[in-house]
């Protein structure tokens, strides 16, 4: 059975160009710090990748610190700044758990940060903090008004960090336009390999290294570079968001949401009132637990996630949905569908068939509603 992969926010299939770059680098031996020819060649690979990564977000190459992924980039930003931290309540765990004493900024029901509260906090703060607000949320796809946040924060002398891990490769990301001081990226969310990422740091932002040792990454992140990973990241970054027709992906996502609503008008689409990434839909199926849905989808060859898959495969209540005021009853029925460059219309249709089947069977098994009219999955979709 072909797998219908609708979990691009968990990780993306590797782009062929990135795979080739990884394999080429793996086959070569050379430490980028060595002065001999093999070392120089490895150094060229790292610097070419750094340039592509910098270009992806409109930053100068020397602002890019290569890391082991988005988690390390977020930790480095939040801990390395040595300031009190204010972070949106819907941030990824790699921000929220990076440091103790962090203050969480509430979001509205649409999932957008409350900028009035931010401003009030900043005005009352003893010391200008680091403000961390992600560009796009991994569970809902909700896009934050990062520029607005940055302008407010800078008026009060704060430093602004943006976790752009989910956004990069799915929409245009430009550090200058966002007006942020620090920006996190991760290769495996944009068609590169897992285990490599970057923190982009504006020139004058002081940052204390977390990993110390050799002087790699200009002493901001010690450790021999992950050459193959970095090469793959560079190749994926060079493709960026440009090769995928995101309007087509948006239409598929719309098709999924319309199809679900035709079958069940009360199905919840979480975050739909806010600007969202074109690929993400967080769908609550009334009455059916998300873990059950994920298993049923998996048995039908469809990969989707319940809540955030970044944790451990375990299904816990989502802090993102809770912060948006989504009640636990509904949150526990939410499944995240995330499309990407490999997604096709067949995937949308297959998902809708299985969604409909799960929903109708669950409805039929509930005594009070057992008499409701039954329709086949295909008929439901056509109607």
Active site residues per annotation: 310
Q: Does position 71 bind ligand PLP by CB under 6 A?
A: yes
CA dist 219 and 221 (Å) reads 6
Q: Does position 186 bind ligand PLP by CB under 6 A?
A: yes
In terms of Cα–Cα distance, which of 40, 183, 77 is closest to 48?
Answer: 40
Residue 261 beta carbon to ligand PLP: minimum distance, rounded to whole angstroms: 26
Q: What sign does the CA torsion over 365, 369, 371, 372 have?
A: negative
Q: Does position 138 bind ligand PLP by CB under 6 A?
A: yes
CA dist 159 and 361 (Å) reads 51
**8-27 burial, b if ≥16 CB within 10 A, otherwise e?**
bbbbbebbebbbebbeebee
Site string for ligand PLP, 288-327 (x = CB under 6 A): ----------------------x-----------------
Size of the site for ligand PLP (CB under 6 A): 15
Structure token digits, residue 29: 């031996």
Residue 67 beta carbon to ligand PLP: minimum distance, rounded to whole angstroms: 9
Interacting span for ligand PLP (CB under 6 A) from 41-49, 163-171, 243-251, 346-354: 163-171
Q: What are the strands, taking DSSP E only, across 188-260?
A: 197-201
Q: Is 140 exposed, middle or buried (0-12, 13-18, 19+ CB in 10 A)?
A: buried
Binder among 90, 94, 290, 318 for ligand PLP (CB under 6 A): 94
Question: Which residues 6+ apart lie within 8 Å of 120 measured at CB?
Answer: none
Q: Does position 74 bind ligand PLP by CB under 6 A?
A: yes
Question: Which residues 6+ apart lie within 8 Å of 356 measured at CB?
Answer: 259, 263, 377, 380, 381
Q: Does position 210 bind ligand PLP by CB under 6 A?
A: no
Q: Does position 349 bind ligand PLP by CB under 6 A?
A: no
Residue 233 beta carbon to ligand PLP: minimum distance, rounded to whole angstroms: 10
Please identify which residue in the block is written with the tokens 């020397």: 62
Q: Does position 229 bind ligand PLP by CB under 6 A?
A: no
Name which of 138 and 356 has its Cβ closer to ligand PLP. 138
Residue 186 beta carbon to ligand PLP: minimum distance, rounded to whole angstroms: 3
H and E: helices and strands count for the chain: 14, 12
Q: Does position 339 bind ligand PLP by CB under 6 A?
A: no
Residue 40 beta carbon to ligand PLP: minimum distance, rounded to whole angstroms: 29
List of residues contacting ligand PLP (CB under 6 A): 69-71, 74, 92, 94, 134, 138, 163, 165-166, 186, 188, 197, 310
């Amino acid at each position: 059975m072909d797998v219908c992969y609708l979990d691009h926010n968990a990780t993306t299939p590797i782009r062929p160009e990135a795979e080739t770059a990884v394999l080429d680098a793996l086959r070569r031996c050379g430490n980028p710090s060595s002065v001999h020819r093999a070392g120089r060649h490895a150094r060229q690979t790292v610097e070419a990748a750094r340039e592509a990564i910098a270009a992806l977000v409109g930053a100068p190459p020397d602002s890019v610190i290569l890391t082991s992924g988005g988690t390390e980039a977020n930790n480095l930003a939040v801990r390395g700044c040595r300031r009190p931290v204010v972070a949106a309540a819907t941030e990824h765990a790699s921000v929220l758990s990076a440091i103790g004493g962090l203050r969480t900024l509430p979001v509205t029901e649409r999932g957008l940060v409350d900028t009035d509260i931010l401003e009030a906090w900043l005005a009352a703060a003893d010391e200008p903090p680091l403000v961390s607000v992600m560009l796009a949320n991994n569970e809902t796809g909700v896009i934050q008004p990062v520029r607005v946040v940055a302008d407010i924060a800078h008026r009060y002398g704060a430093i602004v960090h943006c976790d752009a891990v989910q956004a990069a490769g799915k929409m245009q990301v430009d550090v200058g336009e966002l007006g942020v001081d620090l920006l996190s990226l991760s290769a495996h969310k944009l068609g590169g390999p897992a285990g490599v990422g970057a923190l982009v740091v504006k020139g004058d932002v002081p940052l204390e290294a977390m990993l110390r040792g050799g002087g790699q990454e200009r002493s901001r992140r010690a450790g021999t570079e992950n050459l193959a990973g970095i090469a793959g990241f560079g190749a994926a970054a060079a493709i960026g968001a440009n090769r995928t027709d995101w309007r087509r992906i948006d239409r598929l996502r719309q098709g999924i949401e319309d199809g679900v609503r035709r079958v069940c008008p009360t199905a919840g689409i979480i975050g739909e009132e806010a600007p969202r990434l074109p690929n993400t839909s967080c769908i609550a199926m009334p009455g059916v637990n998300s873990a059950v849905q994920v298993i049923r989808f998996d048995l039908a060859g469809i990969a989707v996630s319940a809540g955030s898959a970044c944790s451990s495969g375990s299904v816990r209540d989502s802090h993102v949905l809770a912060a948006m005021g989504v009640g636990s009853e509904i949150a526990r029925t939410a499944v995240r569908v995330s499309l990407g460059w490999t997604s096709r219309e067949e995937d949308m249709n297959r998902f809708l068939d299985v969604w409909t089947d799960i929903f109708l069977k669950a409805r039929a098994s509930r005594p009070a509603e057992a008499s409701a009219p039954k329709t086949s999955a295909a008929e439901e979709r056509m109607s």
